[in-house]
Amino acid sequence: MKVCPKCGMQNDDNSVVCTQCGYLFGNENIPQNAQTVYQQPVYAQQTPVYVQPAIQKNNGMKNIRVYRTHENYLKLRRIVYYILGVLEVLFAFRLILKLLGANPVSGFVSFIYTISGVFVNPFSGIFTTVVSNGDKTTSYLEPATIIAMIVYALIAYGVIRLIKIYATPKGKEIL
């Protein structure tokens, strides 16, 4: 049984917070006089935000210091994943349309080629494009599109890891 140092309540051994006062077990970085305030995020359970009154007073008002947890960076990570998803869908459309020999004069096909071409151009010329002539259409296999999909996914993964490193409090391990 874990005994809460704040209120003395006995909790289960696998408890993360005290069931009576909300004290967070195992986090020594949070000051003893911190209060637990709960906020309701859109897609998550209740997330504790620790608020500590500062020692100084300005015009009779107390300064409040907020200790942010890694959940505060969840929105930034979601934005990175969203941008990656949009790019990957564009690249997938480009790859399929080229393989099927879509008419590049068509409005939709032209739009996909134009938008995705900006991101694929840095990788063009690494490998030659395979051309297959059919009866009515010409099919292309662009390795540059496949390489772009891999490289941009790796870049997004690196950015997400940097966000996790930045969001992790000192002395905590990144999983």
Total domains present in the chain: 2
- Give residue-wise pLDDT tens across range 135-163: 888 899 999 999 999 999 999 999 999 88
- Give residue-wise pLDDT tens across range 19-71: 787 777 775 455 555 555 554 444 444 444 444 444 444 555 554 444 455 56
Q: Provide the sign of the torsion angle of the four alpha carbons 51, 55, 56, 57, taken in this order.
A: positive
> Do 60 and 95 share a domain, yes or no?
no
Determine the pLDDT at residue 37: 55
Residue 76 has pLDDT above 70, yes or no: yes
> Do 103 and 150 share a domain, yes or no?
yes
> What band does 6 get if pLDDT is binned at 50, 70 and 90?
confident
> Do 95 and 114 share a domain, yes or no?
yes
Per the domain annotation, does 129 fall within a domain? yes
- Note down the domain range covering 16: 2-67
3-class secondary-structure state, position 166 = helix
> Do 141 and 85 share a domain, yes or no?
yes
41: Cβ–Cβ under 8 A, 6 or more apart, which residues? 47, 71, 74
> What band does 105 get if pLDDT is binned at 50, 70 and 90?
very high
Contact 22, 15 (CB under 8 A): no
138 by Cβ neighbours in 10 Å (0-12 / 13-18 / 19+) ranks as exposed
Per the domain annotation, does 173 fall within a domain? no
Query: What radius of gyration, in Å, describes the C-alpha atoms of the chain?
Result: 26
Q: Which ranges in the chain belong to alpha helices (H)? A: 74-100, 107-120, 143-167
Q: pTM of the full predicted structure?
A: 0.56
> Do 136 and 152 share a domain, yes or no?
yes
Contact 80, 163 (CB under 8 A): yes
> Do 79 and 144 share a domain, yes or no?
yes
Per the domain annotation, does 158 fall within a domain? yes
> Which of 121, 134, 128 has the alpha carbon at shortest distance from 94?
121
